[in-house]
Amino acid sequence: MSLQPGDALAAHNFGLQIDGVTVEYLQEVGGLSLEQDVIEYQQVSANGRPVTKKMPGTKKAGEASVTRGMTQSSAFTEWINESLAGNMASARKNATIMLMDYQYNPVKRYNMTNAWCSKVESSGVKAGDASALTEQVTITFEELTIE
For each of the chain's 147 residues, which pLDDT tens digit applies? 577 788 777 788 888 999 988 887 888 999 888 889 999 999 999 999 999 999 999 988 899 999 988 887 777 788 889 998 999 999 999 999 999 888 888 889 999 999 999 999 998 888 998 888 899 999 999 999 999
Residue 5 lies in a domain: no
Residue 6 lies in a domain: no
Residue 106 lies in a domain: yes
Residue 81 lies in a domain: yes
Per-residue model confidence (pLDDT) at position 104: 85
Report the alpha-carbon distance of residue 22 to residue 76 in Å, rounded. 10
CATH (domain of 97):
2.30.110.20
The DSSP H or E segment spanning 30 is strand 28-33
Structural domain of 91: 14-124+131-146
Report the alpha-carbon distance of residue 16 to residue 3 in Å, rounded. 21
Instruction: Give the predicted TM-score (pTM) of the model.
Output: 0.82
Number of domains in the chain: 1
Report the alpha-carbon distance of residue 75 to residue 77 in Å, rounded. 6
